[in-house]
């Protein structure tokens, strides 16, 4: 029982940390720009993670595992941070929260296909309802058309979904937090040049909240949140702890109100509820393999 309680606390801490990612990005990107916020967080995190891997004398992944880590890095340390940093320059956090609520469903769908399983009709219906609600919401806010930023967010969902699915599979071999740790270490050196070229002296004048947001993204969102989340699932069980993820869009919206003063419409709340409900149904839908329903 104590083990399960600790798992729930760690899982909840992970969800809260992830929920603060978009608000922190929104604050930091205004002063540091897309490249520094999107890629610089990995460079900073790489220093911390590198030290931890050396001190713990973690085993270096083999060639096959390395390929999977590259996929994780492409999504979790390159595609998603860079895409959301660009999007958060213009879109409200509450808007992003609604669209990112599709992430668990995208991850589940990609994982099913990677395992050679066939999603059921119930899964597809839930997917279409969730995606349809998001698209209608984006059309409503875009005055009858999808904005380029909306497409960027949806692309970020798919990219991170691939990364999560691959990371979940690899974590059974090398450990949970080690997946994101090695992904950060692999990606960080490639980001040094673009980040260095994007740094300017004007950034030194950024307010304390901007610096705090950047450090939060680097140390917490990029690494410690994953450690907490994966640790929670290891102690409390994947099925039980993963349910906490349904709180994430609402926490994002709450933090957008508290820290950014965003006004939240009824349409936003209703859409978030529809999307989360469709994700809940879709993730629990039966799948078939070799003609059998499971």
pLDDT for position 168: 78
CA distance 155 to 138: 14
The DSSP element (H or E) to which 288 belongs, if any, is: strand 287-289
CA-wise closest residue to 120 among 287, 290, 293: 287
pLDDT for position 44: 96
Beta strands in 89-135 (DSSP E): 118-119
pLDDT for position 86: 94
Q: What is the pTM of this model?
A: 0.85
Burial code (b: 16+ CB inside 10 Å, e: under 16) for 248-273 equals: bbbbbbbbbeebeebeeeeebeebbe
pLDDT for position 291: 42
Q: Tell me phi and psi for residue 46, to 5 degrees.
A: -60, -35
Residue 22 and residue 97 in contact, taking contact as beta carbons nearer than 8 Å: yes
292-293 and 287-289 beta bridge pairing: antiparallel
What are the pLDDT tens digits along the chain (294 aa)? Answer: 688 888 889 989 999 999 999 999 999 999 999 999 999 999 999 999 999 999 999 999 999 999 999 999 999 999 999 999 999 988 889 888 988 888 888 877 887 777 666 777 887 888 888 888 888 888 877 655 667 888 888 899 999 888 888 887 888 888 878 999 999 999 999 999 999 999 999 999 999 999 999 999 999 999 999 888 888 877 877 667 777 888 888 999 999 999 999 988 888 899 999 988 888 887 666 555 544 444
């Amino acid at each position: 029982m104590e083990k399960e309680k600790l798992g729930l606390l760690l899982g909840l801490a992970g969800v809260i940390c992830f929920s603060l990612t978009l608000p922190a990005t929104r604050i930091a990107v205004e002063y540091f720009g897309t490249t520094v916020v999107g890629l610089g967080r990995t460079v900073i995190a790489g220093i911390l993670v590198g030290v931890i891997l050396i001190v713990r004398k973690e085993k270096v992944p083999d060639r096959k595992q390395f390929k999977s880590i590259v996929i994780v890095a492409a999504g979790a340390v390159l595609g998603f941070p860079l895409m959301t940093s660009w999007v958060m320059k213009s879109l409200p956090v509450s808007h992003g929260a609604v669209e990112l609520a599709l992430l668990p469903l995208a991850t589940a769908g990609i994982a099913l296909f990677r395992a050679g399983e066939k999603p059921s009709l119930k899964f597809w219906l839930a997917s279409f309802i969730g995606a349809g609600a998001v698209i209608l919401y984006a059309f409503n806010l875009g005055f009858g058309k999808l904005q380029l930023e909306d497409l960027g967010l949806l692309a970020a969902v798919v990219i991170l979904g691939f990364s999560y699915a691959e990371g979940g599979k690899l974590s059974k071999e090398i450990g949970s937090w080690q997946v994101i740790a090695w992904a950060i270490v692999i990606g960080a050196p490639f980001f040094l040049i673009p980040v260095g070229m994007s740094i300017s002296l004007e950034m030194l004048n950024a307010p304390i909240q901007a610096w705090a947001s950047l450090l939060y993204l680097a140390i917490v969102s990029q690494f410690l949140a994953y450690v907490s989340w994966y640790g929670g699932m290891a102690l409390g069980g994947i099925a039980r702890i993963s349910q906490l993820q349904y709180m994430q869009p609402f926490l994002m919206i709450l933090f957008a109100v508290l820290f950014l003063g965003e006004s939240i419409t009824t349409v936003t709340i209703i859409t978030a509820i529809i999307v989360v409900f469709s994700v809940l149904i879709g993730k629990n839908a039966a799948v078939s393999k070799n003609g059998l329903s499971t």
